[in-house]
Amino acid sequence: MAKVLEFKLPDLGEGLTEAEIVRWLVEVGDVVAIDQPVVEVETAKAMVEVPCPYGGVVTARFGEEGTELPVGSPLLTVAVGAPEGSSGSGEDSGSGTESSGGSGNVLVGYGTGAPAARRRRIRPDRLDRPVTEAPVSAAPVVEPPVLEAPVVKVLVADAAVSEGPVPVVSPLVRRLARQHDIDLRRLAGSGPDGLILRADVDRAIRTAEETATATAHAARTQAKTQAQAPAAAVAGAPNGVSAAPAAERIPLRGVRGAVADKLSRSRTEIPDATCWVDADATELMTVRAAMNAATGPSAGPKVSVLALLARICTAALARFPELNSTVDTEAREIVRLPGVHLGFAAQTERGLVVPVVRDAHTRNAESIGAEIARLTELARTGKLSPAQLTGGTFTLNNYGVFGVDGSTPIINHPEAAMLGVGRIMPKPWVHQGELAVRQVVQLSLTFDHRVCDGGTAGGFLRYVADCVEQPAVLLRTL
């Protein structure tokens, strides 16, 4: 005899409490292997494929694509065991439980190593009932006529909704309930051990139809009463003017919701301040062109402007470690962080994300550039893991790609500072006592005033500007 086990949305880590169903990877009736991905969900951090720790036949799915579920909510139920070829006796049913146990793993890449099974369909009517019911004989289940079934009870109190698998064997009953929006968890079955029969669903449908009819009649009565009331409320409206369209409401969830929460928390908790400076980036652009034009043994991958700015940031943070810190509000302490995990803002179709280059202080410009390129590609395809989006200690925001010169960025909580970079464009500039056209960029630093004063922030920004204007300054720290 098979057992029906319920798989709930697991804790995906990083403090995530909910996820949105993006795409189901299995259908009801599919055979799944242990740790096979069954659903793709979107959290506030990334897209994640969730594997099922049980192997067996999918008997039910909970939630349509686009539904947002909290952690711990049922995702699907799986009939585990060997329903085909079973004699139906208690001895035979016990022999199949050992192979049907779950792995206990919930994250992709941490499975048991069981070989992936080819997806196939079986007839759902071969599934046995849940473990809480009496053993089912090998004979097919025959549902009693509608007239012979006792009266079904419809549970309406939320507290009375049953937990665990729904006691339904027939896929016809499930399909009938789904077509009429009947919640099987709110039905008390009239079959053996509470089994929900078709007669129970039919009675629930009739009850719902009677309720809908009564509601529609009440609505028509109310509309008729309102139509007979004086039209003084609309008398002042000009002829031919239609009512204003309703405003569109967009839920704040997924990446957009996570960004909203983090930025709101940053503005609420962090007393930030911003300073900025214009810098002549002509020499930096010349050095980059020379690096990328090198041939022979000294040649290498192309180095981006963002990679050079990131390397400048790590050198500046070594001089001003106050800005590579965070504030422990409960302990009322400033926590100086030993390493630099550099985040960089990336705009994707899913919204703004901040991938993190780990141990950026140990990397050169070429290594940082390669890691930025790799993480950017993952961000564009939506394959960044939560670990690659968290743990940053300082953020570099290149908003110049949007064609703007300056900004006052919001600190990426719980970090202490963020460097913003505007577009690099030709501008009139006094160079060596003469007016010339130079490549000018605006740099802005937003910092947490709790970790340092303006002198430290100004010193950091000035050092960054000096490295941009005179890249040879970086040779001191290489």
Say if residues 156 and 186 touch (Cβ distance below 8 Å).
yes
DSSP character string of 173-203: HHHHHHHTT--GGGEE--SGGGPPPHHHHHH
Interaxial angle between packed helices 305-319 and 282-293, expressed in degrees from 0 to 180 and rounded to the nearest 10: 120
Q: Is the pTM for the entire model greater than 0.75?
A: no
What 3-state DSSP class applies to 103? coil
How far is residue 137 CA from its own chain's centroid?
Answer: 45
Residue 11 scores a pLDDT above 50: yes
Tokens of 356: 């993190």
Q: What is the mean pLDDT of the chain?
A: 79
User: What span, in angstroms and rounded, lies between the C-alpha atoms of 142 and 140?
Assistant: 6
Q: Between 258 and 312, where is the model more confident?
A: 312
- What was the pLDDT predicted at 212? 77
DSSP character string of 271-300: -EEEEEEEEE-HHHHHHHHHHHH--GGG--
**Which of 44, 181, 39, 37 is closest to 117 using CA atoms?**
37
How far is residue 96 CA from its own chain's centroid?
Answer: 37
Say if residues 280 and 423 touch (Cβ distance below 8 Å).
no
Question: Which pLDDT band holds residue 463 (cuts at 50, 70, 90)?
Answer: very high
**Which of 447, 370, 461, 452 is closest to 409 using CA atoms?**
447
- What was the pLDDT predicted at 64? 87
Question: Which pLDDT band holds residue 141 (cuts at 50, 70, 90)?
Answer: very low
Q: Tell me what the mean pLDDT of segment 259-266 comes to.
A: 88
**Which of 416, 306, 316 is closest to 357 using CA atoms?**
306
Going by C-beta distance under 8 Å and a sequence separation of 6 or more, which residues neighbour residue 39?
Answer: 21, 23, 24, 25, 26, 49, 50, 75, 76
Residue 461 scores a pLDDT above 60: yes
User: What span, in angstroms and rounded, lies between the C-alpha atoms of 215 and 212?
Assistant: 5
How far is residue 159 CA from its own chain's centroid?
Answer: 30
Q: Give me the percent of the chain exceeding a pLDDT of 70.
A: 74
The CA–CA distances, whole Å, from 59 to 26, 27, 179 equal 11, 9, 17
Q: Tell me what the mean pLDDT of segment 100-122 comes to.
A: 45
- What was the pLDDT predicted at 42? 81
Say if residues 404 and 410 touch (Cβ distance below 8 Å).
no
Q: Tell me what the mean pLDDT of segment 274-296 comes to.
A: 93
- What tens digit of pLDDT does each residue of 354-370 get? 999 999 999 999 999 99
- Residue linked to tokens 């669903």: 201
- What tens digit of pLDDT does each residue of 15-61 get? 667 888 888 999 998 999 988 899 988 876 677 888 898 889 999 99
Residue 1 scores a pLDDT above 70: no
- What was the pLDDT predicted at 470? 94
Q: What H or E segment, with its residue span, contains residue 458?
A: helix 454-469
Going by C-beta distance under 8 Å and a sequence separation of 6 or more, which residues neighbour residue 167?
Answer: 129, 130, 132, 133, 189, 191, 193, 194, 195, 196
Q: Tell me what the mean pLDDT of segment 409-429 comes to.
A: 95
For the question of residue 361 being annotated catalytic, the response is no
Gap between the terminal Cα atoms of the chain? 69
Residue 187 pairs with which residues in a beta bridge? 154
- What was the pLDDT predicted at 242? 66
- Amino acid in position 419: L
Residue 466 scores a pLDDT above 90: yes
Backbone phi, psi, residue 161, to 5°:
-65, 130
Neighbours of 220 (CB within 10 A): 10
- What was the pLDDT predicted at 137? 42
Question: Which pLDDT band holds residue 87 (cuts at 50, 70, 90)?
Answer: very low
Catalytic residue among 180, 217, 431, 449: 449
- The DSSP code for 248 is P
Q: Tell me what the mean pLDDT of segment 241-261 comes to.
A: 81
- What was the pLDDT predicted at 118? 46
- What was the pLDDT predicted at 228? 58
- What was the pLDDT predicted at 188? 81
Question: Which pLDDT band holds residue 180 (cuts at 50, 70, 90)?
Answer: confident
